[in-house]
């Protein structure tokens, strides 16, 4: 690990080499992980993140695929509470009646996908909000048909939007 301090410019340079990769902190404005082909991960002082390359006007730029957490409910429970670790939940059991959403308050931009399995016959699956919150103006929404999906996005103020 190397530290270079320039007291005249009040600048600190930090660099770490791990195998063929370098991690560098530059002027407290950027953290860069790079390999022989260039930057593979950058965190900029404005909070932007670049993965796989530099982005000009992007908050996050990804050069590659993304994997999200997927949960398939196949047991005999009657309700499921969505957690912060969930992203997509498929209800593949006919015993589930209610999917309870987390609070939309304080979670602006948080999104979930909820799906009814292709072979389910329960036409009473309810998406339930927290008390005082809504899904596009309603306290609850229904997934009435097998194979149907819904994507929800929080406004951070108690409302889930169907997108």
Q: Name the stretches of the chain with pLDDT < 50.
A: 1-6
Q: What are the tokens at 134? A: 């809504």
Contact between 101 and 132 under an 8 Å Cβ cutoff? The reply is no
Return phi, psi of residue 108, to 5°: -55, 130
Q: What is the pLDDT of residue 151?
A: 97
pTM value > 0.85: no
CA pair distance 44, 77, nearest whole angstrom: 45
Q: What is the pLDDT of residue 58?
A: 59
């Amino acid at each position: 690990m190397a530290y270079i301090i320039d007291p005249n410019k009040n600048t600190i340079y930090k660099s770490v080499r791990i195998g063929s990769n370098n991690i560098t902190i530059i002027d407290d404005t950027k953290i860069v992980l790079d390999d022989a082909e260039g930057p593979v991960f950058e965190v900029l002082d404005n909070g932007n993140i670049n993965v796989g390359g530099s982005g000009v006007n992007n908050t996050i730029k990804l050069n590659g695929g993304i994997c999200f957490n997927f949960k398939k409910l196949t047991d005999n429970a009657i309700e499921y509470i969505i957690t912060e670790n969930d992203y997509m939940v498929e209800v593949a059991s006919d015993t589930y009646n209610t999917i309870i959403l987390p609070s939309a308050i304080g979670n602006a931009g948080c999104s979930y996908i909820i799906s009814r399995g292709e072979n389910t016959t329960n036409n009473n699956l309810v998406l339930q909000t927290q008390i005082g919150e809504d899904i596009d103006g309603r306290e609850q929404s229904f997934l009435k048909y097998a194979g149907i999906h819904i994507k929800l996005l929080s406004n951070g103020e108690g409302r889930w939007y169907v997108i």
